[in-house]
A and B are shown apart, each in its own frame.
Chain A
Amino acid sequence: MTQTDFARALLDPEADIPVGITDPTGRPAPKRFSVYRNNVASSLTRALEAAFPTVRKLVGDEFFAAMAGVFLRAHPPNSRMLMLYGDAMPGFLEGFPPVAHLGYLPDVARLDQAMRESYHAADIQPLPDAEFQRLIGADIAGLRLRLAPSLRLVRSHWPVVSIWAANAEGGPPPVPGPEDAVILRPEFDPRPQRLPSGGGAFLQGLLEKRTLGQSLDQAGASVNLPGILSLLISGRAIIGVDE
């Protein structure tokens, strides 16, 4: 028996038990082997339940557990850092026929995943207020803002922030329409917020290291710059300015 045989049989419930696996008297022991099968599936299912709370709430516990069983066999973790397991989930949901009618589900999964990445991201102090004061009146179009590692942008054709709020906090029923989410973590608790008009394109520009001027151009005429900046500053998300 090799570990390849053992690992294959662990993830495939239909596979034969590897030769040479027995009970203490040397008899075949499929039920004993199934303890390991159950451990792998149930521990990874628990990790996915913790990882995708909003998706789980939307589809229900029983459906989620069954779906997790399919997912974990198609995409077993490729890292021992289970805290970030599941980055393949949005793509998986896009191609999973039983949820084809829930078009928003992949983006909700992106939001859940981004929340977790934000939670574990590095702690970096925001730019001090005095630095912002210094910029008032300067020609800011050529500046590049450095953003906190805990900031995440999730752009969506669906009302992802409203869906999150309705499920996580009992917020009002979501109204159809696109929403771009920024996840900010002023201290330790990440929170998704809906970006004002033009915010998604603007922030994407900043994340691609474009200047403020270039990012504004990208965001279009309706961009609500004061609204976006005040969100980023209150969320302690601007950590530096490069001139």
Chain B
Amino acid sequence: MLDQTGGGLPAKPGTGYKPQHFASILADPGPVGWLEIHAENYMGDGGRPLAQLRHLAQRFPISVHGVGLSIGGEAALDLDHLERLKTLCGWLNPASFSEHLAWSTHDGAYLNDLLPLPYTTATLARVCAHINQVQDVLGRRMLLENPSTYVAFSETAMEEVAFLTQIAERTGCGLLLDVNNVYVSGVNQDYDPQSYLDRFPLLHVGEIHLGGHDEDRDDHGNRLLIDSHGAEVVDPVWALYAHVIAKAGPLPTLIEWDNDVPDWPVLVDEAARAARVLEAVA
């Protein structure tokens, strides 16, 4: 069993950290009890980003959320990138580290998106090997996030919940449950999000994500939801979230808003809504 260094996140609302909110967060964090950063934005050598992060880390537990490891990639993990991650986790000692069930790099090119993979015994083995490697190098347990997906693969032979459950059981990693992603993928893949959540192995969940999405239409005129992280959390997602918390108890819950970032009070309002759900079961 791996050492869970960093102490874990508090079962409170958190928000994704945006530099434009630095002063507002310190002046009035509201119900926000922790902050999440994207690992890759803090891999520079110095300057304001690292200075701000050092300052915030004295006051808030920090969650490091990677977007570039390409854990679902066919190629070997990038050892230089893994080393940079180790350096960041080394000096920051974050309360949590998480990454995605996705790939983003191929043949040396970084595509800057969370790309989907088919769920098969071969991809399961590869993802597990990559997670074992990450946990070995970092010396900590990681959380793996369920994706938003827009396409299906004819190769897929396992359903996503079973795939994630297998990963958690084989590697000992935890899971990051993004409830908006469940809703988005549910609409896009034509499954019932509630039933997905009822089968989800909640005992492995170390963190929840809530975010907004955009709406479009697919090739045949069916609803197609796009995970945009650029809007408020919609009511059906809040309802699914309340359902999860009622079942699992309070969990660290992130309000994720990365594009068209609003003023700080808007994020505080979203965090307050999550806080009410958490307090109802505390």
Chain A residues in the interface with B (C-beta under 8 A): 1-4, 6-7, 10-11, 20-33, 35-36, 39-40, 43-44, 47, 76-83, 119-124, 149-150, 185, 188-189
Partner of B151, one of A3, A25, A32, A188: A32
Pick 11 A–B contacts, CB within 8 A, sort by A. A3-B103, A20-B155, A21-B153, A40-B112, A78-B109, A80-B69, A80-B81, A83-B44, A121-B47, A150-B46, A185-B47
Q: Is the CB of B40 within 8 A of A31?
A: no
Shortest beta-carbon contacts, A-B, top 4: A80-B68, A120-B44, A122-B45, A188-B48
Interface status of B57 (Cβ within 8 A of chain A): no
In the complex, what distance in Å separates the CA atom of A81 from the CA atom of B154? 33
Interface status of B107 (Cβ within 8 A of chain A): yes
Kindly list 9 other residue pairs between chains A and B, CB separation below 8 angstroms, not including A11-B109, A123-B51.
A3-B75, A7-B107, A22-B151, A29-B151, A31-B218, A32-B151, A35-B150, A76-B110, A81-B43
Task: Convert B103-115 into 0s and 1s, putting 1 for each residue whose CB lies closer than 8 angstroms to a CB of A.
Answer: 1111111111101
In the complex, what distance in Å separates the CA atom of A124 from the CA atom of B107? 36
In the complex, what distance in Å separates the CA atom of A126 from the CA atom of B217? 57
A189 closest partner in B (C-beta): B48
In the complex, what distance in Å separates the CA atom of A188 from the CA atom of B52? 11
List chain A residues, Cβ under 8 A from B104. Answer: 80
Q: Is the CB of B109 within 8 A of A7?
A: yes
Q: Is the CB of B219 within 8 A of A27?
A: yes
Q: Is the CB of A36 within 8 A of B115?
A: yes
Q: Is the CB of A77 within 8 A of B110?
A: yes
In the complex, what distance in Å separates the CA atom of A150 from the CA atom of B49? 14
Q: Is the CB of B45 within 8 A of A23?
A: no
Q: Is the CB of A76 within 8 A of B109?
A: yes
In the complex, what distance in Å separates the CA atom of A218 from the CA atom of B201? 69
List chain A residues, Cβ under 8 A from B189. Answer: 24
In the complex, what distance in Å separates the CA atom of A2 from the CA atom of B126? 14
- Min Cβ gap B70→A in Å is 8
Q: Is the CB of A80 within 8 A of B105?
A: yes
Q: Is the CB of A23 within 8 A of B155?
A: no
A79 closest partner in B (C-beta): B110
Decide yes or no: A1 and B40 within 8 Å by CB, A40-B112, A78-B109, A80-B81 being known contacts. no
Decide yes or no: A24 and B150 within 8 Å by CB, A35-B224, A80-B81, A188-B47 being known contacts. no
Chain B residues in the interface with A (C-beta under 8 A): 40-41, 43-51, 67-69, 73-75, 78, 81, 84, 103-113, 115-116, 118, 150-155, 188-191, 216-220, 222, 224, 226
In the complex, what distance in Å separates the CA atom of A36 from the CA atom of B147? 13
Q: Is the CB of B219 within 8 A of A29?
A: yes
List chain A residues, Cβ under 8 A from B219. Answer: 23, 27-32
List chain A residues, Cβ under 8 A from B118. Answer: 1, 20
Q: Is the CB of B226 within 8 A of A44?
A: no
In the complex, what distance in Å separates the CA atom of A240 from the CA atom of B68? 37
In the complex, what distance in Å separates the CA atom of A111 from the CA atom of B184? 42
Q: Is the CB of B46 within 8 A of A80?
A: no
Decide yes or no: A83 and B41 within 8 Å by CB, A23-B219, A33-B151 being known contacts. yes
List chain B residues, Cβ under 8 A from A11. Answer: 109, 111
Q: Is the CB of B115 within 8 A of A77?
A: no
List chain B residues, Cβ under 8 A from A27. Answer: 219-220
Partner of A29, one of B41, B84, B218, B226: B218
List chain B residues, Cβ under 8 A from A3. Answer: 73-75, 103, 106, 115
Decide yes or no: A24 and B152 within 8 Å by CB, A7-B109, A31-B218, A32-B219 being known contacts. yes
A43 closest partner in B (C-beta): B112
Q: Is the CB of A23 within 8 A of B151?
A: yes
List chain B residues, Cβ under 8 A from A121. Answer: 44-47
List chain A residues, Cβ under 8 A from B69. Answer: 80
Partner of B152, one of A22, A77, A78, A81: A22
In the complex, what distance in Å separates the CA atom of A208 from the CA atom of B37? 37
Q: Is the CB of A1 within 8 A of B153?
A: yes
- Min Cβ gap B214→A in Å is 10
List chain A residues, Cβ under 8 A from B220. Answer: 23, 27
Most buried by B among A35, A44, A120: A35
